[in-house]
Amino acid sequence: MSNTNKSEIIFLEGPQSRWKELTFAFETMRELIRGFRGLHFVGPCITIFGSARFKEDHPYYGLTRQAAATFARLGFTILTGGGPGLMEAANRGARDVGGRSVGCNIQLPVEQQPNPYLDKWIRMQHFFVRKILLVKYSYAFVVMPGGFGTLDEYFEALTLIQTHKIKDFPVIIFGKEYHKELIAHIELMQQNATIAVADRSLFLVTDDIGEAVALIREKSIKSFGLRPEVKMKPFKWLFEQS
Sheet containing 204-206: give its strands across. 120-124, 101-106, 77-80, 45-49, 138-143, 171-174, 204-206
pLDDT at 43 over 50: yes
Confidence of residue 38 (pLDDT cuts 50, 70, 90): very high
User: pTM (2 decimals)?
Assistant: 0.89
Indicate the average pLDDT of the chain.
91
Lowest-pLDDT range of 2-6, 160-164, 193-197: 2-6
CA 148 to chain centre: 14
Tell me how far apart the alpha carbons of residues 89 and 59 are, in angstroms, rounded to a whole number: 11
Domain count, the chain: 1
Task: Using pLDDT thresholds of 50, 70 and 90, give the confidence band for residue 9.
Answer: confident
**For position 207, which CATH number holds?**
3.40.50.450
Task: Tell me the mean pLDDT in the region 8-23.
Answer: 86
**Domain of 42, in residue numbers:** 20-225
What's the pLDDT score for residue 139? 98
Q: Which of the four pLDDT bands, split at 50, 70 and 90, describes residue 238? A: very low
In a domain, 238, yes or no: no
91-115: pLDDT as tens digits? 999 999 999 999 999 877 665 789 9
Residue 42 has pLDDT above 70, yes or no: yes
Q: Is the pLDDT of residue 230 over 80?
A: no
Read off the pLDDT band of 17 (50, 70, 90).
confident
Q: pLDDT at residue 53 above 70?
A: yes
pLDDT score at 15 = 76
Quote the percentage of the chain above a pLDDT of 90. 81
Instruction: Quick: pLDDT tens for 132-144.
Output: 999 999 999 999 9
| DSSP-assigned letters across all residues of the chain | -----GGG--PPP----HHHHHHHHHHHHHHHHHHHHHHTTS-SEEEEE--S---TTSHHHHHHHHHHHHHHHTTPEEEE---STHHHHHHHHHHHTT--EEEEEE--SS--PPPTT-SEEEEES-HHHHHHHHHHTEEEEEE-S--HHHHHHHHHHHHHHHTTSS----EEEE-TTTTHHHHHHHHHHHHTTSS-GGGGGG-EEES-HHHHHHHHIIIIIITTT--PPPPPPPPGGGG---
**pLDDT at residue number 2:** 52
Mean pLDDT in residue range 111-137: 91
Does residue 3 lie in a domain region?
A: no
Q: Is 90 exceeded by the pLDDT of residue 129? A: yes
Residue 183's contacts (CB-CB under 8 Å, 6 or more residues apart) are 173, 176, 205
Per the domain annotation, does 181 fall within a domain? yes
CA distance 90 to 117: 9
Confidence check: pLDDT of 36 > 70:
yes
Q: Does 239 have pLDDT greater than 60?
A: no
In a domain, 15, yes or no: no
Max Cα-Cα span within the chain: 96
Percent of the chain with pLDDT over 70: 91
So what's the pLDDT on residue 242?
41
Residue 9 lies in a domain: no
